[in-house]
């Protein structure tokens, strides 16, 4: 096993399923045999605030939080939220962004040029069309899990470990659909892989 610690930062807005997704993520890493830690601040009960979760895994993880600049993958479920966490990323970080826009309460119009802004800041950017992915999964509710499937091919965690973790974290009657969402995410990644590599 190499000594690398993998640092994944998942960000978005309350209600997008980030906490569940990061629960699954860290558990999959543990089941695979890694040391794993994850850290987030459980917001207050009200909806709509910024949400983030740090997931770290490797042979031995000390800090539950990622140091600035050290993120390997920034997985963002909301366009402008991505920029809030810029300081944690670097030029090599893979930044996966779902093209989802949730307008903050205090703002009158969502900035039109957000995609351009993201393109300017993140050299290694992958924009995901939630429409395309959602069509392939039965229910938008499992979109968070399909995004895990999307980045899974980039990580040294076995499919079996991922599936086992999903099995432990989602209700039984939704298991099928979640496993399918995960698979569709990976297939989607395969279909766009060439872009990422270039």
Partner 1 sequence: MEKLLLSGNEAIALGAYEAGAIVGTGYPGTPSSEILEALTSYPGVYTEWSVNEKVAFEVALGAVLAGARTLVTMKHVGLNVAADPLFTSSYTGIKAGLVIVTADDPQIHSSQNEQDNRNYAAAAKIPMLEPADSQEAKDFTELAFVLSERYDTPVLLRTTTRISHSMTVVTKGKNPDRSHKAQGFKRNREKYVMIPAHARARHSIVEQRMRNMTQDSNNLAVNRMELADKRIGIITSGVSYTYVKEVLPEASVLKLGMVYPLPEKLIREFAEYAEKLIIVEELDPFFELRIKAMGLAAQGKQHLPLVGELSPDTIRSGLKAVVPQELFAQGSAAAQQKLSSAYTPPPRPPALCPGCPHRTVFTILKKLDLIVTGDIGCYTLGVLPPFSAMDTCVEMGGSVGMAQGMEAALGSAYNHNTVAVIGDSTFAHSGVTGLINAAYNKHRSVIIVLDNETTAMTGMQPNPLSGQRINKETTVKLDYLKLAEAMGIKTENVHIVDAYAKAQVEEAITASLNKRELSLIVVQGPCIILKRKRKKA
Q: Which positions from 90 through 109 interact with ligand SF4, judged by CB under 6 A?
A: none
Q: Which positions from 26 through 55 interact with ligand SF4, judged by CB under 6 A?
A: 45-46
Distance of CA 74 to CAs 24, 63, 170, Å? 16, 18, 23
179 binds partner 1 (CB under 8 A): no
15 or 111: CB nearest ligand SF4? 15
d(CA 36, CA 27): 8
Of 120-128, 143-151, 174-182, 185-193, the segment contacting partner 1 by CB under 8 A is: 120-128
14 or 33: CB nearest ligand SF4? 14
CA dihedral (117, 146, 138, 179) in degrees, to 10, reads 180
41 or 87: CB nearest ligand SF4? 41
- Please return the burial class of 36, using the count of CB atoms within 10 Å of its CB with bins 0-12, 13-18 and 19+: buried
| Footprint of ligand SF4 (CB under 6 A) | 45-46
């Amino acid at each position: 096993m190499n000594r690398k610690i993998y640092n994944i930062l998942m960000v978005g807005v309350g209600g997008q399923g980030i906490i569940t997704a990061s629960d699954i993520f860290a558990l999959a890493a543990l089941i695979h045999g890694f040391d794993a830690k994850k850290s987030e601040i459980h917001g207050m009960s009200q909806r709509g605030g910024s949400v983030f979760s740090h997931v770290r895994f490797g042979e031995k993880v000390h800090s539950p939080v990622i140091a600035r600049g050290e993120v390997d993958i920034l997985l963002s479920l909301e366009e402008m939220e991505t920029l809030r966490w810029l300081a944690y990323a670097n030029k090599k970080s893979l930044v996966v962004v779902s093209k989802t826009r949730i307008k903050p309460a205090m703002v009158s119009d969502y900035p039109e040029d957000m995609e351009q802004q993201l393109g300017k800041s993140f050299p290694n950017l992958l924009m995901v069309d939630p429409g395309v992915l959602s069509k392939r999964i039965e229910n938008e509710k499992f979109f968070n899990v399909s995004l895990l499937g999307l980045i899974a091919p980039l990580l040294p965690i076995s499919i079996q470990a991922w599936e086992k973790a999903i099995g432990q974290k989602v209700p039984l009657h939704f298991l099928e659909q979640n496993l399918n969402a995960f698979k569709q995410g990976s297939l989607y990644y395969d279909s766009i892989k060439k872009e990422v590599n270039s």
